[in-house]
Structure 1
Amino acid sequence: MLTLYTYENQRPDREIIEKYIIKGLKYTYLTATAALATQREKDKLIPDEQRFTDVDGQERKYALFGDVLRAWAKEEFSLSSRGDEKTMLFRAMDEVSKGNTQLRDLLRHDFSSWIRILYDLAAEGIDLRKTQLPQEKRDQLVNPLIETHLKNIQSFFYNSLDKEGKQLFESAVREYLSLKPAPTDLVIMEGFTFLTELQVWLLQNCEKRGRK
């Protein structure tokens, strides 16, 4: 069951959250911003179960949505780095252009848009090796050729990831959440004024499994 709580001007303090939301249950606490994550850790609202080892080998508590989800996914999957993903995308563009320097330069000119598209499709679980691009996304394309380029780029990109035994963060999170959306019966999400595809996916899977 999903419940929406709203507040204005002043955030509820620990006592109010514990009394009206947590109610003695084991819970997961996710925040929309790093500043809010820091504040709620100071408020001692982040449970010990959200203590993870960071990149420097130090243990610390995570509450920011992306940080927690990345830590969960890394327990099950080997994630690619953003740097490696950029390299793979450059190689995919070279492969797709097949010596056509004009096309290669055009693709590279919009590099930031292409990599964002790859991340967005991964967050929505769209693998063009297995399925067609949804019609609503086709309607957004300014040129039908873009769909062909997108399919070829994503295919080469994903095949490169597969060879390395790696997954995109977005793909790994979707798969992880479909198996076990949260380790507790209560999930608190604070500060979210809109929801991304992965946040919606978390909520959908929590609701399916009776999480609060």
Structure 2
Amino acid sequence: MRVLVVHAHPVEESFNASLFRMTVDQLKAKGHAVDPVDLYADGFNPVMSRDERLSYHDTGTNRKPVEDYVDRLLRAEALVLVYPVWNYGFPAILKGWFDRVFLPGVSFGLVNGKVRPTLHNIGSILVVTSYGGSRFRTWLMGDPPRRIANRMLRATIKPGGRVTYLAHYEMNLSTDQTRQAFMTRVEHALDRI
């Protein structure tokens, strides 16, 4: 299976970066064709330009500034996102990747003004993330990243596609044991991709 793995953390020595490396290594070991994307290492610009916004609905030109990322997304059969949750949201670089890559004609089409999901090449999504706060505090805040994964992303991919959301909470209080237990959960989820 062709798996696009998108990572969004600026520190190479972080727990999140180790999750990214483990994910890529395990998927390759299982025989998957893995396409790793490290947005920070790539120097990805998350800011949509004025010209991009003006041509947003022009499916003949809208993908040109991010064509490589669009092509990689459209070749994928599964998507794995590895990132931390900061301030109850995505890192800006990942939010910008969604804004600039999930374009009309790529992840959705507009038919008579209504959105029609089109990213049907992707049959499953795995989210691997970490939060500084507790699950309860995150729940009180509405947990926007989980909602986006389970609602928007699920609606965008192949009908009936699977979305798995794995989160390590309370990173500020984590231990070697809690991090290892979470890595084991991720390994098991990768076996089912």
TM-score, scaled to structure 2: 0.26
Q: Which has the higher helix share?
A: 1
Larger of the two Rg values belongs to structure: 1
